[in-house]
Structure 1
């Protein structure tokens, strides 16, 4: 009987200590948490004597846990760039704007390491302004289902990766005669994998 009591006391003490450590470390997500992520990119490529391409991308995203397991988020993608083919051609300008919504279900959000599934949709417009000629636009719509992993490296920062295993995308230009182009993808490769860093408030 004494052994049983001592065992129960020991297990209770271990459980209490783990709970305290978890509470103090505060690793993981919970209802009411807000996290932000995003990307900032600037690039410049030169391929031949005069060819030059510059691009800038700003892509922030915000998520909010409406329950312990479910997070809803919004994201933007704002980009601009220019292309110069020859010394006399001048620079053609490009711009991108996209906005999307996403929902995530976390299977074990309160843990340092957690799994999630994400369903997201986005609308976007790509605009091209040549030096000579008409401005053209391409409107797009995309939906993707992606499983992912999240790992907290500290109380506020986590690393995540996800892969789009099922996706649908369509796009159409605004010029007369432009046809709608669509694609469906099942399965993933390295081009469908993304990595990110989250900051939790």
Structure 2
């Protein structure tokens, strides 16, 4: 029984002598794009992110580094609001652009010579702005009245958070690997720079298969 338990532990945790050496440098990156279209509400949401990162192993299987990327999210929709004989048609466009800086520390555990699991603690900081444009058209079918109003606004914001992300890292060869994170546990503080604007706090907990991210990493081996 003891041999069985010990053998199972080795199979589960992949006890191996393979380690990533101190002083090893790597670069990696993630690119994502999504488009969500709702024909019933005539809305379209486009989301684009690019996040290159660089890391340095300061000890065996322990790396520190930072990510520096951009994010762009655009939303468009058309809505109709009716009241009696009148109707208001709203055409809205909102675009959020930001620069993201995310210093991190990452700890690896060896499963096999090619496969590692890791836990990453990062502090993502986002500095951006939201541009909003809307055209409101008012029509009264009884009186025949027709009017339009254009609205535009720009709002700057900052966001800072603390996240813990679990993941896997598989080395195809000594230089290239594919890494993936599954969900996150974290906290984020978001605030517009408008006078009197209140901060928004959000929390995320759990391993979410719908939020898996993939990246490719190049390791500068010695």
TM-score using structure 2 length: 0.65
Distance 1:148 1:123, change over 3 A: same
Aligned to 2:20: 29
- For 1:186 and 1:45, the matched residues in 2 are separated by 24
Aligned to 2:103: 101
- For 2:205 and 2:122, the matched residues in 1 are separated by 15
- For 1:36 and 1:30, the matched residues in 2 are separated by 15
Aligned-residue RMSD, C-alpha = 3.1
Aligned to 1:72: 64
Greater helix content = 1
CA contact (8 A) 2:106 2:118 kept: yes
Aligned to 1:156: 175
1:3-61 alpha-carbon deviations (Å, 9 max, x no partner):
xxxxxxxxxxxxxxxxxxx9xxxx86322222211123455555449755544432111
1:182 aligns with 2:201: yes
| Candidates 110, 129, 133, aligned match of 2:131 | 129
TM-score using structure 1 length: 0.71
- Gaps of at least 5 residues in structure 2 are 1-16, 79-89, 134-150
- Gaps of at least 5 residues in structure 1 are 1-21
Greater strand content = 2
- For 2:25 and 2:72, the matched residues in 1 are separated by 29
Moved more, 151-160 or 97-106: 151-160
Q: How does 1:164-175 map to 2 (within 5 A)?
A: 164-175=183-194
